[in-house]
């Protein structure tokens, strides 16, 4: 990270010269275990199993996955190598469906590979690009956190959903980055964290990160958000994003849409925070965002323990789409896109902030 030191003393992902060191997020908060990732299949498994997760962090993991994949290729000519690398890119792209950052990072990696004249040159360029993506994403979250902190009043109580902190981004965080920045400005703030069923990123990761920094946090179940908003306990809701369409519709962790609707009903500002790498301007609306469907077992079991009758069928869309009309503003590293986002698309003036 160039612009700012990490606000925490752990890193979700690090390039270690020859391998990638990953903090296994599935084991948190009980255990802080690091894994050495030495080949791209291992990286694909880590992404699929959510050992590394959160849209910006997935993008960084995908980029390093391409570096590891490149080391396993056999082609000797630049053209042959680029062709084989494309196969690796397709495989890595298949690990998670919704987070735009993964495809954005892989496109950048493939693009840089086309510029190399021989295999060694391509491999060197790939590593340089992956490190650049990593640093840029971390910097972007610092800048967006600083921008977003303007919206946070001293004494505010903030509701958040899922996990959007340093674990999810490799930098400050998106929604949680704003919270961390505001806290470091000396604002007395507190957080209500939705537990975020089914995989409990809010309960396991958000509370863990906030407690490490010393920010007061109250854990609630997803179904309690409306209760606390109606009671006037929440000053604003801030969430991250996995993909934002050209009209501002936003895909984020399942349950975000419900938070947004409840926020509107209760006159609570609802903010989305994301680096510009999360925008997908090729999609005119959120209806076109692909939604990852995950295993039923994530719903019927918690940590391998069944919580429902055997063989009951369960649905598990991992993300939902919040229509732009519920979003008060989208906070990026380049600035804040405020209302009105029109129904058709983000205006040209607002596009300059993407
Ligand atoms: O399935 P996950 O844990 O990768 O989902 C993460 C989220 O939905 C986050 O809110 C999102 O990536 C936004 S910002 C890091």
Q: Is residue 6 in a domain? A: no
Instruction: Report the C-alpha gap between 22 and 43 in whole angstroms.
Output: 9
Q: Is residue 332 in a domain? A: yes
Q: Are residues 115 and 210 in the same domain?
A: no
pTM, to two decimals: 0.96
Instruction: Report the C-alpha gap between 296 and 313 in whole angstroms.
Output: 7
Q: Are residues 186 and 246 in the same domain?
A: yes
Q: Are residues 177 and 322 in the same domain?
A: yes
Centre of ligand 1 to C-alpha 115, Å, is 32
Is-catalytic flag, 242? yes
End position of a domain, from candidates 142, 159, 193: 142
How many structural domains comprise the chain? 2
Write the burial class of residue 85 (CB in 10 Å: 0-12 exposed, 13-18 middle, 19+ buried).
buried
Closest residue CA from atom 8 of ligand 1 = 253
Q: Are residues 135 and 189 in the same domain?
A: no
Our mutation pick for probing the ligand 1 site, out of 168, 279, 320, counting the most ligand atoms within 8 A of Cβ, is: 168
**CATH assignment at residue 323:** 3.40.50.10470
Q: Are residues 103 and 173 in the same domain?
A: no
178 DSSP assignment:
H
Catalytic residue among 139, 143, 194, 242: 242
Q: Is residue 23 in a domain? A: yes
Q: State the closest ligand 1 atom to the C-alpha of 292, by its place in the atom list counted from 1.
A: 1
Centre of ligand 1 to C-alpha 124, Å, is 30
Q: Is residue 260 in a domain? A: yes
Q: Which residue segment(s) compose the domain that 31 sits in? A: 13-142
Q: For each of the chain's 354 residues, which pLDDT tens digit applies?
A: 456 678 999 999 999 999 999 999 999 999 999 999 999 999 999 999 999 999 999 999 999 999 999 999 999 999 999 999 999 999 999 999 999 999 999 999 999 999 999 999 999 999 999 999 999 999 999 999 999 999 999 999 999 999 999 999 999 999 999 999 999 999 999 999 999 999 999 999 999 999 999 999 999 999 999 999 999 999 999 999 999 999 999 999 999 999 999 999 999 999 999 999 999 999 999 999 999 999 999 999 999 999 999 999 999 999 999 999 999 999 999 999 987 566 566 776 676 666
């Amino acid at each position: 990270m160039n612009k700012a030191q990490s606000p925490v003393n752990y890193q979700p992902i690090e390039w270690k010269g020859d391998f990638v060191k990953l903090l296994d997020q599935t084991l948190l908060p009980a255990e802080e275990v690091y894994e050495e990732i030495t080949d791209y299949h291992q990286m694909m498994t880590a992404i699929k199993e959510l050992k590394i997760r959160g849209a910006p962090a997935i993008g960084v993991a995908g980029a390093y996955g391409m570096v590891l994949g490149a080391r396993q290729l056999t082609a000797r000519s630049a053209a042959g190598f680029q062709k084989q690398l494309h196969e690796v890119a397709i495989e890595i792209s298949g690990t998670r469906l919704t987070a735009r950052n993964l495809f954005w990072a892989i496109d950048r990696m493939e693009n840089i590979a086309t510029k190399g004249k021989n295999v060694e040159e391509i491999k060197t360029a790939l590593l340089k690009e992956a490190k650049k993506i990593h640093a840029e994403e971390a910097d972007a979250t610092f800048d967006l956190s600083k921008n977003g902190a303007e919206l946070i009043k001293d004494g505010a109580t903030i509701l958040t959903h899922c996990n959007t902190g340093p674990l999810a981004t490799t930098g400050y965080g998106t929604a949680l980055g704003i919270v961390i920045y505001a806290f470091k400005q000396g604002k007395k703030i507190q957080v209500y964290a939705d537990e975020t069923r089914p995989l409990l990123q809010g309960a396991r990761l958000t509370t863990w990160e906030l407690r490490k920094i010393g920010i007061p946090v109250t854990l609630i179940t997803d179904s309690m958000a409306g209760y606390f908003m109606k009671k006037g306990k929440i000053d604003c809701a801030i969430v991250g994003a996995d993909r934002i369409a050209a009209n501002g519709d936003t895909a984020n962790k399942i349950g975000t849409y419900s938070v947004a609707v409840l926020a509107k009903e209760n006159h609570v500002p609802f903010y989305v925070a994301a680096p510009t790498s999360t925008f997908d301007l090729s999609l005119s609306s959120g209806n076109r965002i692909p939604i990852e469907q995950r295993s039923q077992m994530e719903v019927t079991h918690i940590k391998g323990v069944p919580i429902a009758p055997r063989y009951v069928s369960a649905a598990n869309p991992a993300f939902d789409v919040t229509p732009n009309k519920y979003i008060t503003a989208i906070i990026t590293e380049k600035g804040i896109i405020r209302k009105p986002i029109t129904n058709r698309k983000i205006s040209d003036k607002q596009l300059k902030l993407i």
